[in-house]
Amino acid sequence: MKINLPLYLQLWKTEKCKKYHINLNNYRNRNWIVSNNVKKKFTDLLKSQLKDKVVSTPFKLKYTLYMNDLRVRDVNNVLSVTDKFFQDALVKYWCIDDDNYKCSVETLFAFWWLDRGNWRVEVEIFEDAKTTL
pLDDT in tens, 74-90: 899 999 999 999 999 99
Higher pLDDT among residues 12 and 62, named by residue = 62
Would you say the pTM of this structure is higher than 0.75?
Answer: yes
Residue 133 inside a domain? The answer is no
- What local confidence, expressed as pLDDT, does residue 12 receive? 79
Instruction: Read off the DSSP letter of residue 64.
Output: E
In the beta sheet, which residues pair with residue 124? 2, 62
Residue 106 inside a domain? The answer is yes
pLDDT, mean of residues 53-72: 90
What proportion of the chain, given as a percentage, has pLDDT over 70? 97
Residue 132 inside a domain? The answer is no
CATH number for position 103 = 3.30.1330.70
CB under 8 Å to 120, separation ≥6 — which residues?
4, 5, 6, 7, 66
Residue 53 inside a domain? The answer is yes
Q: Which residues form the domain of 105?
A: 2-126
Q: How many domains does the chain have?
A: 1
- Give the CA-trace dihedral at 101, 103, 108, 112, to 10 degrees: -140
